Amino acid sequence: MASLVCSRLSSSSPSSNFSLSSLSNSKLLPQDSRCRVPTRNCIRCNLAEQLKVGNGAPCIPELVSDFSFPSFLTSKHIETSANTNDTRLRIFSGTANPALAQEIACYMGLELGKIKIKRFADGEIYVQLQESVRGCDVYLVQPTCPPANENLMELLIMIDACRRASAKNITAVIPYFGYARADRKTQGRESIAAKLVANLITEAGANRVLACDLHSGQSMGYFDIPVDHVYGQPVILDYLASKTICSDDLVVVSPDVGGVARARAFAKKLSDAPLAIVDKRRHGHNVAEVMNLIGDVKGKVAVMVDDMIDTAGTIAKGATLLHQEGAREVYACSTHAVFSPPAIERLSSGLFQEVIITNTIPVSEQNYFPQLTVLSVANLLGETIWRVHDDCSGGIEPYSSLGID
């Protein structure tokens, strides 16, 4: 739990040691003697012990006392917090993703705060803190994932409860920010729900927001309070580096024109791989989409990059086109796994060699499939919380080493 876990939902997953520093400096490590291609052209890094799987469900490995984390993801405060009982920092979890909140607390060497959350018969939400937070820095971990309205309202009530309990600072830790796609008007008389949600969080009493991979950068400007924006790219990049894929065979693919900037940044850090773009065009009403590929993928390993996978329609169609254009293998990488039906059917249909996601949104057991790999962002969020709490003091690395805006 405290490690950056890379759980391949298959019983044949290998185990190795994990290092993110190789890609934090955009350097690629040589691969070991088992590589079938020249070492100088391969991407290689060390990886954390993967989750062992039983009956298709991952189980969390025990912590190893002599395991060493990468320097920029190793908490320098765990021993301090344990010895001094730092009561000024409190972490509470909502009901949306308690497993991630527990991983964050374990990484930081803290215990989750005691909180009572229940729902009345009519659906109203009740929140009561079970311990004092007067004068404390409080961090509320609650993604606004489906059911978005329930989880958003729960977050707002949690913020209000902390404010009325005289918390000094309240930070809403939102690994997945719902309504982020409603960030602009594409037609007349539409709402901009992302701005509305930002106003609600601010007015509820939050002093700061910590978010992971927002759908668009302008969403940060919707808040009138500070926003720390964390990217999940380092976790996914380091895992891809462990695949020992020949760098000459890699090509990063954007599934649509809107994701070109994200894919370009991803490709630059992945051995400066070439870029390809899937261009979708509809020439008229009731006319099927025409999909064109910009770039060469023939005989290559295509890595499709997006911020979220919802129904998987766009990424599945893109994968079909890549196979038609001669791609040898197709990987799908995404930070947020919304997985609305029929996403699982599309992703498990054999189009993808592997579907790589993070645990910003919990994946239910019935949504597991053999090609699914779940990586943990708990260490990234935990280290960010420490740095925000310490105002980045104590001589530790700057935010840029974590890819934080």
What's the CA dihedral at 197, 198, 202, 204 to 10 degrees?
10
pTM of the full predicted structure? Answer: 0.77
Alpha carbons within 13 angstroms on the beta-carbon side of residue 55 total 2
In angstroms, rounded to a whole number, what is the distance separating the alpha carbons of residues 177 and 151?
A: 11
Nearest to 134 by CA among 113, 104, 103: 113
pLDDT per residue as tens digits for the range 49-69: 333 333 344 443 333 334 344
Q: Residue holding tokens 């090609």?
A: 371
Structural domains of the chain sorted by starting position, each given as residue range(s) with its CATH number in brackets: 6-66+238-376 (3.40.50.2020), 75-232+380-402 (3.40.50.2020)
Which residue type, as a one-letter code, is found at position 25? N
pLDDT per residue as tens digits for the range 124-142: 999 999 999 999 999 999 9
Nearest to 70 by CA among 29, 34, 14, 41: 29
Q: Is 319 helix (H, G, I), strand (E, B) or coil?
A: helix
Per-residue pLDDT of the chain (405 residues; tens, 9 = 90+): 444 444 444 444 443 333 333 444 444 333 443 333 333 344 443 333 333 333 344 443 333 334 344 555 555 555 444 444 456 999 999 999 999 999 999 999 999 999 999 999 999 999 999 999 999 999 999 999 999 999 999 999 999 999 999 999 999 999 999 999 999 998 899 999 999 999 999 999 999 999 999 998 888 999 999 999 999 999 999 999 888 888 889 999 999 888 999 999 999 999 899 999 999 876 665 555 778 999 999 999 999 999 999 999 999 999 999 999 999 999 999 999 999 999 999 999 999 999 999 999 999 999 999 999 999 999 999 999 999 998 854 344 554 455 666
Strand partners, 8: 373
